Amino acid sequence: EVQLLESGGGLVQPGGSLRLSCVGSGFTFSNYAMSWVRQAPGKGLEWIASLSGRNEKIYYADSVKGRFSISRDNPNNTLFLDMGSLRGDDTATYYCAQDFAFLATVPSYFDKWGPGTLVTVSA
Amino acid sequence: DIEMTQSPPSVSASVGDRVTITCRASQSVTKWLAWYQQKPGKAPKLLIYTTSNLLRGVPGRFSGTGSGTEFTLTIINLQPEDVATYYCLQTHLFPLTFGGGTKVEIK
């Protein structure tokens, strides 16, 4: 059974930094693109970043480009999101998601999701 | 960026009813559209991919149709467990974009 578990969320001051992690199990981690999707409290879903399985391609939403960095440690089945220059509108639950397609270099649909980790940016 | 507009924002229907949710794209996404179901406090769940393909285990009362710029998610014989917010997602072009969501409630 595929399982994803995010960690690293919490309260951070505006302008601060935070690193989120997502550990995957139940599948060969390096064979799947992975993504981060966030959801502000009471709001809709926003895709923010994707990374192919073997680091061939990286994609970012404009809202986080230059401030956030997605990376992965395949031997340890872990996806990361390094977040910097955090702002109030970055407050959200952050989900990691496994891509639907096996060995896809261009991420497609988000298939399996973790339960999410809440990031609150506030003074 | 491709803007995805969902309608209606919310719908209230009776058990057994048919519910239709529409997703319109600001430019063609060909067939690259998915539908998600999100229950309160939970992560979204993929229901349908590439317009009309039902994920294994998703009840057959869910169906998707469309192409280009207009897509629909239909739920026939609405059940209490279908109460959720539904989102469309286009994967034709980056940035990947979601619709604003449609909240489905039971009357």
Lowest mean pLDDT among A20-24, A52-56, B67-71, B99-103: A52-56
Mean predicted confidence (pLDDT) in B81-91: 98
Residue B94 in tokens: 């980056």
In this predicted structure, the answer to whether residue B69 has a pLDDT above a threshold of 90 is: yes
CA distance A78 to chain B (A): 19
The verdict on A98 touching B (C-beta cutoff 8 Å) is no
Q: Rounded to whole angstroms, what are the CA distances from A46 to A61, A64, B11, B36, B82?
A: 9, 11, 22, 13, 23
**Burial class, A71, CB count within 10 angstroms (exposed 0-12 / middle 13-18 / buried 19+):** middle
In this predicted structure, the answer to whether residue B67 has a pLDDT above a threshold of 90 is: yes
pLDDT computed for residue B87 by the predictor: 98
CA B97 to chain centre: 13
pLDDT computed for residue A4 by the predictor: 98
Contact A113 B45 (CB under 8 A): yes
The verdict on A44 touching B (C-beta cutoff 8 Å) is yes
Q: Which residues of chain A have a pLDDT value below 70? A: none
Which residue on chain B is closest to A39 by alpha carbon? B43
The verdict on B102 touching A (C-beta cutoff 8 Å) is no
Q: Considering CB atoms only, which of A47, A95, A109 is closest to B46?
A: A109
